[in-house]
Chain A
């Protein structure tokens, strides 16, 4: 199979970014707000100043961390049929959504999400064939702050059998999340073997590591559960205005985080999500644009050079509606992203300001198309089909050929995309894709049943939730 792939940075350029990153880690250093992490770094030989939280990390520590970090890892679901391996061969899709707002795909109404919205999104995600893992879809404003990330996980694990990648901003949250997941899979050792959860840890560009998030990541590392390190510099705002400089800041933060993870527990599973933004300098908001894809793709090449798994944006959009803009932005960003086979690509369910249930169905279809595209095509005697061409000769057609019968089903078939004539489309109700998607989600919600957590386990988990409430509120 010949697959369309790109790698646009030369080996020299990749090494230049790597070397620049090592230089920044040692010369400029990073600021780590956690004493626990500073202790680990100091013990390993980094230059630590406790008073200012400043750390200078020698290249040797980075090289060692790169050695220790696993090159492949398992991501599991509550149901083992949803397990997969991050091994740089295939892309798995993440419903990233965009809490806390919810957008109605048909009417465009935008409002805070409710507990019910979150469950609905999870059920649809559980159903869709291209969703492999999920993020929190929304926020129920009735959930008190200290419980939110724990409730996010609990709700997700109850309402889908697929992997959940959550947020964790304190060590306490991490401990409860890990305990809940361990209870569901059958213990800590089992969770290490079959991590049904992972967490996203953001660094604070430029070059700062928050106390809570860092200590949460250490808990995950010690549990052997994957951590996604997610630096989010933005060119000219949280990193240099130049793309290469922004990539360096991203790589420095990733490598700094990786060192902490591997020092906390050698062999800790780490994924790099090299998100790089560009900025609308009028408003200061991030803008959706081609440079972000370029930077992230470049860093994906660096990740390849390290042999480490990546998670990247896939179906990005800044649109407020489920409209043409949403469609072209998602498609235009997804395809190049897949050309470097990220292990995980996100964006399913997200629009600019919030989560949109209906877009999940459309995103699933865009992915279906894109996956077929990156699968490529095969050139061999059978596919060159010389005998068939000779048999039909000039003129005529191939519809009746046995060779056609053997191969015609290989072609991509849309599920919801309209490709009919005008008359047929009209006869079917002249529906927009948003209407079609809405009907599809209604149908899924009416028919799809998620297998619940067994009752005894559920009871045990509820007890943990009660304990968390008593301690954290």
Chain B
């Protein structure tokens, strides 16, 4: 029997191949898919998140662990039933139309994953339709928009309007180097965070409220 703590440790160590192999084996052995996910993958990522917060881990370690976690999740996903995934929330994340800055957005995504959120990253240069469609498909709790240019920041307002018009339940959180709380209030965003750790806090708060 594959020891689920081994899967967890391999997620923490970012051993992508080991994670995939062990998850496959555990599935073949008939272990509970829900437990493999919770006790192996998600709990591993949780520890990675804690280590980051304590200052033991840095971004490269977070990113590679998230890659390992997602590779394991991919093996499981055909077998997962609704309700199997007990995540902190579902997030759709992207960079605003006309903007190709993606480092900050990707870091926020990784940190949210570290905190147990299920994140769909729609990449850069994303318009309102893309956000709304993906949020519908994933029944998202939260939409995160990143913009670093003053030319593209303004476009975040269009996404917020489109989300409201489509009657989605998802709350909208925005960020990026040039965005401030003042701006977020002006465009009617539900939340703003100046960096990735506080984005996680904000996301938890918005999903609950």
Contact = CB atoms under 8 A, between A and B. Distances in A.
Interface of A: 99-101, 112, 139, 141, 144-146, 148-149, 169, 204, 210, 236-238, 279, 281-284
Contact of B98 (A141, A145, A237, A281): A145
Nearest to A99: B150
B150 A139 contact: yes
Given A281-B58, A283-B195, 4 more contacts: A100-B178, A283-B59, A283-B107, A284-B107
Contact of A210 (B100, B155, B196): B100
Contacts of B104: 284
Given A112-B180, A148-B150, A237-B103, A283 B155 contact: no
Nearest to A241: B60
Interface string B113-141: 00000000000000000000000000000
A162 to B, nearest CB: 23
A236 B60 contact: yes
Nearest to A237: B103
A146 B196 contact: no
B58 A100 contact: no
Contact of B59 (A141, A145, A148, A284): A284
Contacts of B155: 145
Nearest to A148: B151
Given A146-B151, A284-B196, A204 B59 contact: no
B154 interface: yes
A139 B183 CA distance: 14
B67 interface: no
A283 B60 contact: no
A100 B103 contact: no
In this complex, the member of A99, A100, A169, A237 whose beta carbon has the largest number of chain B beta carbons within 10 angstroms is A100
Contacts of A148: 150-151
Contacts of A204: 100
Contact of A282 (B58, B149, B151): B58
A283 B196 contact: yes
A238 B102 CA distance: 11
Closest 9 CB pairs of A and B: A145-B151, A281-B58, A139-B150, A284-B107, A100-B150, A148-B151, A281-B59, A100-B178, A145-B154
A144 B195 CA distance: 26
A145 B58 contact: no
Given A100-B178, A145-B98, A204-B100, A282 B152 contact: no
